[in-house]
Structure 1
């Protein structure tokens, strides 16, 4: 279930801050162009410093709106759409101002804008395969160095010419060079991590075609069929707890065969996946434990889900599922981990996230795979279906290790 959902509209405090940032970006750009570089225009030093300070404050509002959205449980679709646009608008506006002042070469904003377009396109393509490329620190460092370099360059032309202004400008250009390198590097890194999904065949296992029907068909095993599942794989009723335990037994058997340990990171299932595994006698040699990350704060502080993911796409997302699974492995000391995050109901739905939507992630230290399902039924049925699906992902991943050895 989505943590902190309160039935709010789009005009939350976080979204108001984001909208204010969007409105103030052209105002700031007009002010900066009017003031001009003080060392050239002979304008007021105070006005030039004010331009730099205002830019720094606008940059800081990115952290503020993210904090407000998460702390108040008010992550909205509108905010997830507008926030990244506001960030990129501010950076591009600042680079164009510096370009107008002949402080940067035209290729700098071109590289920055091209990278953002390409990575945004890659995200859409990769998302269709169900694979999530976890956010790396390269992007964070790229953003930080870009913002600081812009502030430094703005200050350098606001101060009277002297050793301090020269030193600040040199620092600004150095950081800007680093930011450009990180911009290109992070883009190449994202492309490299996305290569499997980008060049996969149409039958790639992460594609949306591999849904609940395929999942229930695969877990049944040779000659078996789960209660409530039609022969063609259509779900007619939720599995029972005994079904969950039966699938869990197969997971444990497969993990033992390849010498793997497993763990879980659970939100909407509240520990039921681990419960099914530990309901099987002798499971302690395979199951390392579980992280019950029902709260957003636990997802962030214990599993390492980034604030950017939680603030931009929310806890019910492929990005969050991927980072939950990746964070569970070191937290639990296991070889393979599975994550579950979704909206079990009866409330919590959003326009693009209905009740029953569950995202799953599985990580083995080499690859992280995600996929989603929209399960029918009431809260209990959604949770049981999610448990079986998560167990099947563990079974499939462990079997993959056997096949690749």
Structure 2
């Protein structure tokens, strides 16, 4: 089965129900904001209609964390959830910023920057994914989202207060956080483009890209893998490089083939076995966004795993493996035998996928051989 998932849970999982409620509830929240009207800020009392709007927005924001937690903890990441969750998040942010513009808290520039960044990054991901390269979500994106939502919440809380000292402090704090959010929005967008510059401006496609097939040749034996591992070690040794692995469906077999060769300790730094999504997140730093939206069997996860292993192990070159070894675990667009690989070095991170034929044992051995080939090449 695909690691970190359970098969047969259907579309209407608790996580997807929460996400759907968030989408459906946005029009109701907009109606509440319209009924409350533009805040007058007269006196020092609390405007209860505006307080309701503020609390409802905070509740909408918190449901984003709730559906992500439910999907991960229950192993119920679905294609429907991957589609709907980012739409729900952007819908909440854009609608709230439109309300703040109507209430004269914001001008149009923050909204233009936020929307432009989302369009550009989404287009960039589509283009570089076609080249076999994936740019994993960074901490900048997390800070951008947290700062934006905190600032918007502060503005809405301010709307229900008069212009006392507390309200004035809350306003300027929200203003400062929004300014920081805009900087982080632009910075994280630039970071995406910088990390994918090689793929974006490449003249030709990578060999063995996302649609590569495993071929019908006989599955390798364990001895074949160890022999190839010896070649990897010799090549790495001649270049003065150290290597490490992050493995999911192969369960440490890539490292096992490398360390089966005598004297490998001068090259191999180690391996991180990350079969569970919780380990991918906690040890390798795979973001909640990746695990909740595209799932563990994806180019984004493979890229983040490879980068996380290189950082955690302190090696020069790392390879990651994440896939569906079978016999179960298939889902739409992700058949049994699909394996995503990531290779990370100081020059950047590249991903590619292969759909391997055979039973579980054959898929795993083929994946080991392919990972070793990527390291060697």
Q: TM-score with structure 2 length normalisation? A: 0.95
Which residue number in structure 1 is paired with residue 188 of structure 2? 186
Which residue number in structure 1 is paired with residue 98 of structure 2? 96
SS at match of 1:159: coil
Q: Deviations over 1:49-98 (max 9, x none)?
A: 12111101110111100000000000001001100000000000001111
Please, which moves more after superposition, 90-99 or 301-310? Answer: 301-310
Asked if 1:297 corresponds to 2:278, the answer is: yes
d(CA) in 2 for partners of 1:255, 1:349? 36
d(CA) in 1 for partners of 2:159, 2:267? 62
Q: 2:314 aligns with which of 333, 351, 367?
A: 333
d(CA) in 1 for partners of 2:191, 2:16? 31
Q: Deviations over 1:333-392 (max 9, x none)?
A: 322111100000000011011111100011123311111111111111111110000001
Q: 1:137 aligns with which of 97, 116, 139?
A: 139
Contact 1:130-1:208 at 8 Å conserved across structures: yes
Asked if 1:309 corresponds to 2:290, the answer is: yes
d(CA) in 2 for partners of 1:27, 1:36? 14
Which residue number in structure 2 is paired with residue 23 of structure 1? 24
Q: How does 1:152-301 map to 2 (within 5 A)?
A: 152-205=154-207, 207-208=209-210, 211-212=212-213, 234-301=215-282
Shift of 1:108: 2.0
Q: Deviations over 1:8-64 (max 9, x none)?
A: 101000000000000111111110121023325999612211211110111011110
Q: Deviations over 1:268-321 (max 9, x none)?
A: 001111111122222222112211111111111111111121111111111111
d(CA) in 1 for partners of 2:208, 2:148? 35
Which residue number in structure 2 is paired with residue 399 of structure 1? none
CA RMSD of aligned residues (A): 1.7
Asked if 1:47 corresponds to 2:49, the answer is: yes
d(CA) in 2 for partners of 1:41, 1:204? 63
Which residue number in structure 1 is paired with residue 353 of structure 2? 372
d(CA) in 2 for partners of 1:203, 1:265? 25
d(CA) in 1 for partners of 2:235, 2:3? 32
Q: How does 1:72-151 map to 2 (within 5 A)?
A: 72-151=74-153
Contact 1:39-1:161 at 8 Å conserved across structures: no
Structure 2 unmatched runs, 5+: none
d(CA) in 2 for partners of 1:166, 1:212? 61
Specify whether residues 37 and 164 from structure 1 end up closer, same or farther in structure 2 by C-alpha distance, changes over 3 A only.
Answer: farther
Please, which moves more after superposition, 300-309 or 245-254? Answer: 300-309
Q: Deviations over 1:189-247 (max 9, x none)?
A: 211222111110123447447x357xxxxxxxxxxxxxxxxxxxx53321121211111
d(CA) in 2 for partners of 1:201, 1:58? 44
SS at match of 2:321: strand
d(CA) in 2 for partners of 1:164, 1:118? 38
Which residue number in structure 2 is paired with residue 225 of structure 1? none
SS at match of 1:325: helix
d(CA) in 2 for partners of 1:207, 1:383? 19
Contact 2:210-2:354 at 8 Å conserved across structures: no
Structure 1 unmatched runs, 5+: 214-233, 397-405
d(CA) in 2 for partners of 1:377, 1:204? 25
The number of residues matched between the two structures is: 375
Please, which moves more after superposition, 295-304 or 31-40? Answer: 31-40
d(CA) in 2 for partners of 1:22, 1:208? 32
